[in-house]
A and B are shown apart, each in its own frame.
Chain A
Amino acid sequence: MNFFLKKLLIVIPTLYIAWTVVFVTLNIIPGDPVNLMLGGRPASDEVRENVRKNLGLDKPVLERYGSFLVNATKGDLGKSYLTRQPVTKMIKENMMPTIELSIGGLIFGVFFGVLFGIFAGTKPNSIRDTISMIIALCGISLPSFWIGMMLIYIFGTTLGWVPIVGDGFVSLILPSISVGLFFAGGMARLTRSSLVDVLNQDYIRTARSKGISKYNIILKHSLRNAMIPPVTLLGIQFGLLITGAVITEEVFARPGLGQLLLQAILAKDIPLVQALVVYMTAVYIFLNLVVDFTYGIIDPRIRLERKN
């Protein structure tokens, strides 16, 4: 318990630092939020100055930082420059689609990743190993915009099996495959190599000599021990997904945190970027904790070591 408590205590300073870094960076890099907001529109000086005043951007930087900080401690992360809506509301609106896509990608990725990993790892250096690993490599290295466009072309336009921009569960299939392929590729490679290591261990040989069936050896004895590296990767990749998959969101015209962050950065919408970074940092910290916790479940020895 002590271990988790310590980790939790680090959360607050981490969030504060991330939040401040964003504020400082966005104030240093070129670009004036008012001009970016008004775009190429021929707005008069009066309009520009009035917008600046309404957003509080006429106040000195330090004062703005101070009032952001005071409000943030009260749980008010401010209003977006662009939409004048509370940033927390905007994040909430875009969070569910991102979570749906992440879970879709996770299910696809873990299922096919582990499947191909076992397929390859149980017979290293065979043809099926080579083919599986080539497929995995494709999953990792093919850019997601290309995969997305191909999926749309094949399953949406040509075959007409799934909607391209529809609603509901069906519309989640293609985007999930698109993000899941990357996931699956990494999982497959790591599961394979980890499995190959474990299968060469003495206790597996012992198990074999005792006449335990091949599938029992793989699923009960080897896989569990081989899962520590893939679970670590899972945590990192799930973290990437839950903070938004910009390209996939764009190709499939889905709302999501990736698009929101991109829009916020391009427009220098400082309150929105800050809130998103706080959210993303919190998600990473949380997922790290979950991964640590999962180690203990997979391998009880890790729990013992912590106690000692």
Chain B
Amino acid sequence: MKKIVKIFFGISALFFSLSFVSYANALDIVFAEDRPDLRTLDPRITQSRHEEMLIVNIFDQLIAADSEGNHYPGLAKSWNVSSDGLEYTFNLRNDVTFHDGTKFNAAAVKATFDSIVDPETGSQGAVDILGPYKETVVVDDYTAKVVFERRYGSALTAFTETELSIVSPTALSSLGNDGFGMAPVGTGPFMFKNWEANKKVELVRNPDYNWAPEYMDGSGPSQVANLTYRLIKDTSTRVAALEAGEIDIAELVPPLDMNRFDSSGDLATVAGTVSGLPYAAFLNTTVGVFQDINVRKAFFHSLDRVKMTSDLFFGYAEAAFGPISSSTPSYWKGNEDYYGYNPDGAAALLEEAGWKMGSDGIREKNGEKLTVFFPCLLEPDTCVAIQGYANKVGFDVNVEVVMKARQDELIFANGYDMLVIRWVSLDPGVLIIPFHSRNIPEPGKFKFNWARYANPQLDQLLEDAESAETQETKDDLYMQIQKHIMDQAIFLAIHDQVQTVAYNPDLEGVRFANGNWQLRMYDVRKK
């Protein structure tokens, strides 16, 4: 027995001595990304904001945009729009090379955009963002003219989107569509080096980079020599690795931990309000209790969104009120005057609609209970908070936490009373997707008008806004659209989406990309 005990201690000692081997690497940056299942790093194909977290640092766009959405010269030094709004002529930089040595020029712009609309490419995001694209004309080596089929009001924003990054035509033809996504070649501040599936992606600094947009602090190559994206899905592991110093910057840090870091000062934090649709619920206008607008309004009034959001997010997210988040262009302040917390008003509306309080605290009408079926795909804790508030005025909310496959089936079958959503988008033009009547889901056809609300007047407003000629008309049309949606009480905004980031306090220059989700690592440096 003594021998066995000796062996045990021997092995333990061996384990512990090995564990002291150094593993720190000082000047390089490790970023914790929460999705392990990255599929492609091809901006033309991706539809994932998580993949774009990396893509945004490997590629550049024709027009650069800061986190506020302001436009700056990018790969194009300047641009002008024809008076009919159909032609966008870009005057390109002539000093840019791709990571593989290919010269950046008008032919590369044409190759990129033409391949996006080629069905063979299988684009999942870029092709929609490119909108009514017709063709790119190579005017000369450094002048490219992009032509649209019809006026496209969101075009300038579109050219700042990560999905419309310019890719190396040489790499594209040598690697093919599938290969390019696994070894992307762009013009950005970082070059792709290595990808270990489900574990990490390594980028290295582009030593030739000399075309940083003017809103950046730095110029020339980035100070970050090696940029590693460590894929860590488990939130507590991500936070533990950050606290242990193995990770320099982590995304999607729980608000509770953000709060802790801010009080202790051990780690720096920054939170970005994501532009696009806030976390919100569609109320189904075609079946169940929400067919009655008064019941919808009562449901809105029953929620204390401000308190709920501060309880759940500790001040790192704000309550949301409108169909688009406050950081999205053309946001209408008037949204905030609608449907404040008013349980008495909610009760009065329900009484008026004929729903009388039952002995069990649930309202009834003609022997039917005021029941709401709420399949919850995102943020179960928020769903349950909604349930609790609505219950106080007499709703019986049945929350079922679902996977996407189950939610899709319920959407096809029109088998829900409410569903939650959230989207990242740079332009209010996104509203046409969830609110135009042509986007009401049908069996087998996945679409996004989950309120199933059809109104010709709203359809017209959405179509007009898409091809608005001036910014004033565009803002005015989107104001009317937001007002219409609020008046009808079909879309219940709860809170703004936030990207919560914590990082090593010795670092500075951590910067959100446009949309406030991805991070641009170019400016990151030691204090």
A250–B234 touching, CB < 8 Å: yes
A255–B196 touching, CB < 8 Å: yes
Binary contact readout A157-187 vs B (1 if CB under 8 angstroms, 0 otherwise): 1001111111111110100000000000000
Residues of B within 8 A of A256 (CB): 198
Q: How many A-B residue pairs have CB under 8 A?
A: 170
Query: Which of these binds chain A: B359-367, B402-410, B474-482?
Result: B402-410
A to B CB contacts below 8 Å, 29 in the list:
A30-B409, A31-B406, A35-B408, A37-B124, A40-B421, A40-B422, A41-B47, A43-B47, A43-B124, A43-B128, A45-B445, A48-B446, A50-B123, A54-B120, A84-B178, A84-B181, A85-B182, A93-B197, A152-B236, A153-B240, A161-B16, A163-B244, A163-B246, A164-B244, A164-B246, A165-B237, A165-B246, A259-B36, A260-B198
Residues of A within 8 A of B199 (CB): 97, 253-255
Known: A38-B47, A82-B39. A32 touches B408 (CB 8 A): yes
A41–B124 touching, CB < 8 Å: yes
Residues of A within 8 A of B404 (CB): 31, 35-36, 39, 266
B232 interfacial by beta-carbon distance below 8 Å:
yes
B408–A152 touching, CB < 8 Å: no
Residues of A within 8 A of B120 (CB): 54
Interface SS of chain A: helix
Bound-state Cα–Cα, A45 to B115, Å: 19
Across the interface, name the chain B residue whose C-beta is closest to A177.
B15
Residues of B within 8 A of A118 (CB): 4
B237–A251 touching, CB < 8 Å: yes
Interface positions of A from 256 to 295, Cβ below 8 Å from B: 256, 259-260, 263, 266, 268
Binary contact readout B214-238 vs A (1 if CB under 8 angstroms, 0 otherwise): 0000000000000000111110111
Neighbour of B240 across the interface among A47, A164, A168, A169, CB < 8 A: A164
A161–B19 touching, CB < 8 Å: yes
Binary contact readout B473-491 vs A (1 if CB under 8 angstroms, 0 otherwise): 0000000000000000000
Bound-state Cα–Cα, A44 to B196, Å: 32
A51–B19 touching, CB < 8 Å: no
A164–B241 touching, CB < 8 Å: yes
B336 interfacial by beta-carbon distance below 8 Å:
no
Bound-state Cα–Cα, A94 to B36, Å: 12
A215 interfacial by beta-carbon distance below 8 Å:
yes
Known: A31-B409, A164-B241, A260-B198. A149 touches B236 (CB 8 A): yes
Across the interface, name the chain A residue whose C-beta is closest to B197.
A93
Bound-state Cα–Cα, A10 to B49, Å: 46
Residues of A within 8 A of B37 (CB): 82, 259, 263
Bound-state Cα–Cα, A83 to B181, Å: 9
B125–A41 touching, CB < 8 Å: yes
A residues adjacent to B (C-beta < 8 A): 29-32, 34-48, 50-51, 53-54, 82-85, 90, 93-94, 97, 111, 115, 118-119, 149, 152-153, 155-157, 160-171, 173, 215, 250-256, 259-260, 263, 266, 268
Would you give the shortest CB distance from B485 to chain A, in whole angstroms? Answer: 16
Bound-state Cα–Cα, A39 to B196, Å: 24
B40 interfacial by beta-carbon distance below 8 Å:
yes
Would you give the shortest CB distance from B54 to chain A, in whole angstroms? Answer: 15
Neighbour of B237 across the interface among A31, A36, A164, CB < 8 A: A164
Across the interface, name the chain A residue whose C-beta is closest to B242.
A164
A46–B23 touching, CB < 8 Å: no
Across the interface, name the chain B residue whose C-beta is closest to A153.
B240
Neighbour of B39 across the interface among A83, A111, A163, CB < 8 A: A83
B331 interfacial by beta-carbon distance below 8 Å:
no
Bound-state Cα–Cα, A252 to B423, Å: 29
B233–A94 touching, CB < 8 Å: no
Interface positions of B from 8 to 37, Cβ below 8 Å from A: 8, 11, 15-16, 18-21, 23, 36-37
Residues of A within 8 A of B405 (CB): 29-31, 36, 266, 268
Please give 12 more A-B residue pairs, beta carbons under 8 A apart, in addition to A41-B48, A47-B127: A34-B446, A39-B47, A47-B123, A47-B124, A84-B178, A115-B4, A119-B1, A163-B23, A170-B23, A251-B237, A253-B199, A254-B199
- Report the 7 A-B pairs with minimum CB-CB distance, sorted nearest first: A31-B405, A255-B198, A253-B232, A93-B197, A30-B409, A42-B433, A41-B47
A50–B119 touching, CB < 8 Å: yes
Known: A39-B48, A42-B128. A157 touches B243 (CB 8 A): yes
Known: A156-B240, A164-B240. A47 touches B40 (CB 8 A): no
Residues of A within 8 A of B18 (CB): 169-170, 173
B448 interfacial by beta-carbon distance below 8 Å:
yes
A115–B231 touching, CB < 8 Å: no
Residues of B within 8 A of A255 (CB): 36, 196-199
Interface positions of B from 333 to 390, Cβ below 8 Å from A: none
Residues of B within 8 A of A36 (CB): 404-405, 408
Residues of B within 8 A of A44 (CB): 127-128
Residues of A within 8 A of B408 (CB): 30-32, 35-36
Residues of A within 8 A of B231 (CB): 253
Binary contact readout B408-427 vs A (1 if CB under 8 angstroms, 0 otherwise): 11000000000001110100
Residues of B within 8 A of A254 (CB): 198-199
Across the interface, name the chain A residue whose C-beta is closest to B49.
A41
Bound-state Cα–Cα, A153 to B409, Å: 41
Interface positions of B from 120 to 150, Cβ below 8 Å from A: 120, 122-125, 127-128
Known: A39-B47, A82-B37, A165-B247. A51 touches B197 (CB 8 A): no
A160–B244 touching, CB < 8 Å: yes
Neighbour of A43 across the interface among B125, B178, B244, B421, CB < 8 A: B125
Bound-state Cα–Cα, A173 to B17, Å: 12
Would you give the shortest CB distance from A86 to chain B, in whole angstroms? Answer: 10
A32–B446 touching, CB < 8 Å: yes
Residues of B within 8 A of A119 (CB): 1
